[in-house]
Amino acid sequence: MEKLSKPSKARMSEEAEMGVGTLLIFIAMILVAAVAAGVLVQTAYQLQQQAETTGDQALKEIATGMRTLAAYGVTDANLTAIMDLYLKVALSAGSPVINLANLVIEISTGLADDTLSFSAIAPAAGTFNATQLRDTYPYDIWTTTDVGITQGDIALIHIDLDANGMSLVTQQTANILMIPKHGIPTYVDLTTPSVFSNIYEILT
């Protein structure tokens, strides 16, 4: 009966060295996979945060806006030309608060055009003024410098055409673009009547 030969010590040592090398490679692969997973998780989190921020900004840009409720002009004493414009404005449906202090108004009469910014005092050259007509309780955030309108509020915008070297005669068109800091600009196209019969003229 033959006796089984025992593996030599040299062969056992070689197998042990191969096993340790394989184990080191396996551990290295695990570490690389862990690092890669960490990078992927961090990247996914950053992308999620960026997507949420972008979504909020896009929603604000789409939802924010105003609508014009009425427009009328005030003529001179001789009823020959409109020297002041008034616009009643409110927020469009779903719009968050708009600070009129950041509003920019571009106006063109066909003969002249100008860009106006808000003034807390009476409007002059290059400015417009706004007055609060209705405040919806409890969100009263209208101050001298922060003229904010919320849902349900109504504001009256006053543009002094004469101070800006403008006027509107009969059957003349004026184009007005109201641009908030965020959101959709509001375009208003006005046409004066064929005859001025009153100091206050409703414009369409």
What pLDDT, on a 0 to 100 scale, did the predictor assign at position 135? 85
What pLDDT, on a 0 to 100 scale, did the predictor assign at position 37? 82
Per-residue pLDDT tens for 74-110? 999 999 999 999 999 999 988 888 999 999 999 999 8
Q: Is residue 167 part of a domain?
A: yes
pLDDT at 4 over 60: no
pLDDT at 16 over 70: no
For residues 119 and 82, membership in a common domain is answered with yes
For residues 32 and 83, membership in a common domain is answered with no
Asked which of 8-12, 45-49, 90-94 is least confident by mean pLDDT, the reply is 8-12
Q: How confident is the model at residue 11 (pLDDT cuts 50, 70, 90)?
A: low
Q: Is residue 20 part of a domain?
A: yes
For residues 87 and 16, membership in a common domain is answered with no
Sign of CA dihedral 156, 67, 105, 135: positive
Q: Which residue range forms the structural domain that includes residue 147?
A: 65-202
* Number of domains the chain is built from: 2
Using alpha carbons only, what angle is made at residue 61 by residues 56 and 66, rounded to the nearest 5 degrees?
130
Given 46, 63, 80, which residue is the final one in a domain? 63
* Pairing of β 127-134 and β 113-118: parallel
Residues 6+ apart with CB under 8 A from 170: 192, 193, 194, 195, 196
Average pLDDT over residues 174-203: 93
d(CA 177, CA 32): 58
